[in-house]
Amino acid sequence: MNTFIKEYMEEHKDYFNQVSEHIFHTPETRFEEFKSAEFLSAECEKQGFEVKRNIANIPTAFKATYGTGKPVIAFLGEYDALPGLSQTPGKSEAEQVKESPDFGHGCGHNLLGTGAFAAACAAKAYLEENNQEGTVVFYGCPGEEGGSGKTFMVRDGEFEGVDAALTWHPSPGNSIMSKPTLANYQISFKFKGVAAHAANSPHLGRSALDAVELMNVGVNYLREHIIQDARVHYAVTDTGGLSPAVVQPRAEVLYLIRAPKNNQVEGIYQRICKIAEGAALMTETQLEIEFVKACSNYVPNRSLEKVLYKNLKEVGVEESSDQEIAYAKEIWETFSPDEQEFYLDVMRGFGYIGDGSEFEGKYLNDGISDYQETEEIFYGSTDVADVSWVVPTAQLTAATSTLGTALHTWQMTAQGISDFAHKGMMRAASAMALTGIELLSSEEQLKQIKEEHAKFQSKNPYIAPIPKDVRPSTLGGKRI
Ligand SMILES: [Zn+2]
């Protein structure tokens, strides 16, 4: 099995590198990844998959299927970029490619989507070669960044019938992402007041901005009375205008509420709604609450993680060339002293548990972190979480960037199509492909994985955190 995958990846690596480069050079933000989604869909068709576009009624979501019967193994790929991160690749200084749109692959989703696609292609090739029954599905998952695309797809039943799902994330480390993540809700609170001359007739005005301010004060008091692991952040997205001489007739604040469990987020959300209503009452303004999106907490499947870890070890980490090390060193030198000192914090977020001694004098990670079955929370969220509620799921990270590179930075974008990034991508693809093939071939192993999941599901039936009538929204706030 390993030899087959090794040979397959070696033979096709130039092709997959080109796919990753193409997506890198076409950065598009959430739910508007029209070119990237169509490009990947067409490549899936060329590789012999049957593609269903526009799944979950999302134009940039698709499902590429190969094979027949059970089991059904899914690989999840993303391809959305981020605003503010346009960056020339291969540089060691911030250098925007384009002023408009200023988008870039600062989270490495060009690698993520291509790596998962490569894994699906390799698993398909294995089935073909061995004339084996089973189904391989590559899910084109849009809008991960602030959009929770997968949560909409799970809500609409797109993962029904899948037996196991695998995915990965680019990072500076090689590890299994075994930490549970936080569930979240994102909600917009919109206040409507009455405009008036602020000096001449202030008594006739009803300030929507006052309502936003009072609401934020109320929530700041609430923070003392919520569980420690919860997080509540907000951004004022509309202050109501630029003139202090006008009583602001409209204002809007966007809240992001996070907690370890879905029901905890729901509880905090209900209390925040009461505070918003109170602010509207105090200011005689009208309140409209718009649910933007949500995602669940991630549920690790330990049995599946162990198989993925074993295969990641089997694949191993190849040596870096002098050229690769030299570029990584240049990137390292762009980090501030604080960033250099705390680089292990970044790594720990991805599951690294050591003290860093093995990285002494290095710029690239050439090891694999030990697998840790941990309940320690990762203080972040992912929409992979919703898939993990309905299908046994496991994720890994592969080192595609210099040690300590944080996601969503120009440095992450700059390294996005480097040689070591592509090597990491193929490493992730190989480990996922091997795992997929193992599940397609071993009923016993899959049974154990599914039993673990069934045990969780029997106690925790999935309730989609996004209400039925809510549609995904683009970066500009447009509902699709
Ligand atoms: Zn990401």
Q: How far apart are the C-alpha atoms of 337 and 325, rounded to whole Å? A: 20
- Integer Rg of the chain from CA: 23
- Strand-by-strand arrangement of the 164-171 sheet: 50-53, 62-68, 134-141, 72-78, 164-171, 393-399, 175-176
Residue that is last in its domain, among 265, 295, 325? 295
- Expressed in angstroms and rounded, the spacing between residue 411 Cα and the centre of ligand 1 is 14
Per the structure, the complete domain to which residue 50 belongs is given by 2-181+298-459
- Expressed in angstroms and rounded, the spacing between residue 168 Cα and the centre of ligand 1 is 9
Which residues are within 5 Å of ligand 1 (an ion), measured at CB?
107
Taking only the tens place, the pLDDT of each residue in 114-134 is 999 999 999 999 999 999 999
The pLDDT of residue 360 is 87
Q: How far apart are the C-alpha atoms of 169 and 399, rounded to whole Å? A: 9
Residue 174 pLDDT exceeds 80 = yes
268 and 316 share a domain?
A: no
86 and 233 share a domain?
A: no
The pLDDT of residue 462 is 96
Residue 355 pLDDT exceeds 90 = no
471 located within any domain? no
- What's the pLDDT band for 358 if we cut at 50, 70, 90? confident
Q: Packing angle between helix 208-222 and helix 262-283, nearest 10 degrees? A: 140
Q: How far apart are the C-alpha atoms of 186 and 306, rounded to whole Å? A: 33
Comparing CA positions, the residue from 263, 271, 258, 277 lying closest to residue 219 is: 271
Comparing CA positions, the residue from 282, 273, 229, 240 lying closest to residue 255 is: 273
- Expressed in angstroms and rounded, the spacing between residue 169 Cα and the centre of ligand 1 is 7
398 located within any domain? yes
- Expressed in angstroms and rounded, the spacing between residue 33 Cα and the centre of ligand 1 is 15
Element (H, E) at 428: helix 419-441
Q: How far apart are the C-alpha atoms of 382 and 480, rounded to whole Å? A: 21
- Expressed in angstroms and rounded, the spacing between residue 331 Cα and the centre of ligand 1 is 20
DSSP string, 343-399: HHHHHHHTT--S-SGGGTT-SS--S-PPP----PPBSS--THHHHHHHS-EEEEEEE
235 and 322 share a domain?
A: no
Average pLDDT taken over every residue of the chain: 96
Q: How far apart are the C-alpha atoms of 171 and 162, rounded to whole Å? A: 27
475 located within any domain? no
Residue 211 pLDDT exceeds 80 = yes
159: domain CATH number? 3.40.630.10
18 and 136 share a domain?
A: yes
The pLDDT of residue 98 is 77
- What's the pLDDT band for 444 if we cut at 50, 70, 90? very high
336 and 285 share a domain?
A: no
- Expressed in angstroms and rounded, the spacing between residue 351 Cα and the centre of ligand 1 is 15
How many angstroms from the chain centroid is the CA of residue 194?
Answer: 40
Cα dihedral 22→25→31→34 (10° resolution): -60
- Expressed in angstroms and rounded, the spacing between residue 305 Cα and the centre of ligand 1 is 20
363 and 269 share a domain?
A: no
Taking only the tens place, the pLDDT of each residue in 362-419 is 999 999 999 999 999 998 899 999 999 999 999 999 999 999 999 999 999 999 999 9
- Expressed in angstroms and rounded, the spacing between residue 249 Cα and the centre of ligand 1 is 37
- Expressed in angstroms and rounded, the spacing between residue 245 Cα and the centre of ligand 1 is 43
The pLDDT of residue 345 is 86
465 located within any domain? no
Taking only the tens place, the pLDDT of each residue in 403-414 is 999 999 999 999
- Expressed in angstroms and rounded, the spacing between residue 142 Cα and the centre of ligand 1 is 11
Q: Tell me the C-alpha to C-alpha distance, in Å, between residue 292 and each of 184, 415, 453.
A: 11, 32, 29
446 and 372 share a domain?
A: yes
- Expressed in angstroms and rounded, the spacing between residue 382 Cα and the centre of ligand 1 is 8
- Expressed in angstroms and rounded, the spacing between residue 156 Cα and the centre of ligand 1 is 22
Here the tokens at position 115 are: 């790596």
For residue 96, what is the DSSP state?
-
83 located within any domain? yes
CB 391 within 8 A of CB 161: no
Q: How far apart are the C-alpha atoms of 30 and 458, rounded to whole Å? A: 34
Comparing CA positions, the residue from 318, 304, 316, 317 lying closest to residue 435 is: 304
Share of the chain residues as helix, strand and coil, in percent rounded to the nearest 5: 40, 20, 40
Q: Tell me the C-alpha to C-alpha distance, in Å, between residue 417 and each of 303, 412, 441.
A: 33, 10, 33
- Expressed in angstroms and rounded, the spacing between residue 10 Cα and the centre of ligand 1 is 26
367 and 440 share a domain?
A: yes
- Expressed in angstroms and rounded, the spacing between residue 107 Cα and the centre of ligand 1 is 5
Comparing CA positions, the residue from 143, 158, 72, 77 lying closest to residue 111 is: 77
351 and 444 share a domain?
A: yes
48 located within any domain? yes
Q: How far apart are the C-alpha atoms of 111 and 105, rounded to whole Å? A: 9
230 and 156 share a domain?
A: no
Q: How far apart are the C-alpha atoms of 120 and 112, rounded to whole Å? A: 12
Residue 467 pLDDT exceeds 80 = yes
Comparing CA positions, the residue from 17, 308, 9, 36 lying closest to residue 166 is: 308
Here the tokens at position 464 are: 């989609």
Q: By three-state DSSP, how is residue 231 classified?
A: strand
CB 136 within 8 A of CB 124: yes
Comparing CA positions, the residue from 460, 416, 432, 473 lying closest to residue 152 is: 473
323 and 261 share a domain?
A: no
479 located within any domain? no
Taking only the tens place, the pLDDT of each residue in 34-91 is 999 999 999 999 999 999 999 999 999 999 999 999 999 999 999 999 999 999 999 9
Q: Packing angle between helix 419-441 and helix 302-315, nearest 10 degrees? A: 130
pLDDT above 90 as % of the chain: 92
Residue that is last in its domain, among 233, 261, 295? 295
- In the block, tokens 């918003």 appear at 276
Q: Which residues contact 264 (CB under 8 A, 6 or more apart)?
A: 183, 227, 230
- How many structural domains does the chain have? 2
- What's the pLDDT band for 145 if we cut at 50, 70, 90? very high
Element (H, E) at 142: none
- Expressed in angstroms and rounded, the spacing between residue 112 Cα and the centre of ligand 1 is 8
280: domain CATH number? 3.30.70.360
Residue that is last in its domain, among 235, 266, 295? 295
- Expressed in angstroms and rounded, the spacing between residue 56 Cα and the centre of ligand 1 is 21
Here the tokens at position 217 are: 């004060």
- Expressed in angstroms and rounded, the spacing between residue 145 Cα and the centre of ligand 1 is 7
- In the block, tokens 């490493």 appear at 427
Please compute the mean of the pLDDT values over residues 133-154 and round it to a whole number: 97
478 located within any domain? no
The pLDDT of residue 108 is 98
The pLDDT of residue 100 is 79
Please compute the mean of the pLDDT values over residues 273-291 and round it to a whole number: 98
77 and 125 share a domain?
A: yes
Q: Packing angle between helix 443-459 and helix 419-441, nearest 10 degrees? A: 90
